[in-house]
Chains A and B, each alone.
Chain A
């Protein structure tokens, strides 16, 4: 059974750096073709993909946010960490992590965490 759960601060101040952790179970990021991505959703708005890291350590970022994002993995802890610098109130959103596969079967995000709401305010 695959599960993912996001953790991190619920409130950050403008200009601060946000660090979010996705802790997962039921799969390993040492298995070929597995990826964990981050997606966010401002209140009442659409989903926006942010970044993804794969088991081969390939990393991809949203072009519009690339300069502010870093994604890393800790396979021993079954965790993926996303950092976003220079936070702004427009970054207020629910942040989700999600699992995908790019192996024999190429899948989109088929398992999602419950999401964590991050508010940016002074």
Chain B
């Protein structure tokens, strides 16, 4: 089983700042089948990034994903008020599918 560790647990930033979220895998995600989701309180997760770096339909280009192997990053170039939320990474390279523990991006 691939264990995903996200850091930091909480990121306190101001609107307009850059956010950098990390997701580290316990073993290589060989196909780069790594996704990022955004979740706001009371809502279902929304797919942001798939294949480590491809934006899902309708996702603004301020969201970008990078990385390969065991280290992946989600970057939000300039935080908008609606971006303050929880973010989860997920690997779909192998079964069992696994999620990271999440990073909460909060307003400083």
Residues of A within 8 A of B (CB): 37, 39, 46-49, 52, 60-63, 96, 100, 106-110, 112-115
Contacts and interface: CB of A to CB of B under 8 A. Distances in A.
Contact of A46 (B46, B51, B101): B101
B50 A115 contact: no
Q: Is the interface of A mostly helix, strand, loop or mixed?
A: strand
Contacts of B37: 47, 109
The 5 A-B pairs with the shortest beta carbon distances in the complex, nearest first, are A108-B35, A112-B44, A49-B97, A47-B99, A108-B92
8 contacts: A37-B97, A46-B102, A47-B45, A49-B99, A106-B31, A108-B50, A110-B50, A115-B44
Contacts of B45: 47, 96, 109, 112
B33 interface: yes
B60 interface: no
Nearest to B95: A60
A108 B4 CA distance: 15
B92 to A, nearest CB: 5
B10 to A, nearest CB: 13
Interface of B: 1, 31, 33, 35, 37, 39, 44-47, 50-51, 56, 88, 90, 92, 95-102
Contact of B88 (A46, A61, A110, A115): A46
Counting chain B CB atoms within 10 Å of each CB, the highest count among A49, A109, A110 belongs to A109
Nearest to B92: A108
A114 B99 contact: no
A46 B99 contact: yes
A107 B50 contact: yes
Given A108-B35, A108-B90, A46 B47 contact: no
A46 B35 contact: no
Contacts of B56: 110
A62 B88 contact: no
B102 A108 contact: no
A49 B100 CA distance: 11
Contacts of A110: 47, 50, 56
Contact of B98 (A49, A61, A114): A49
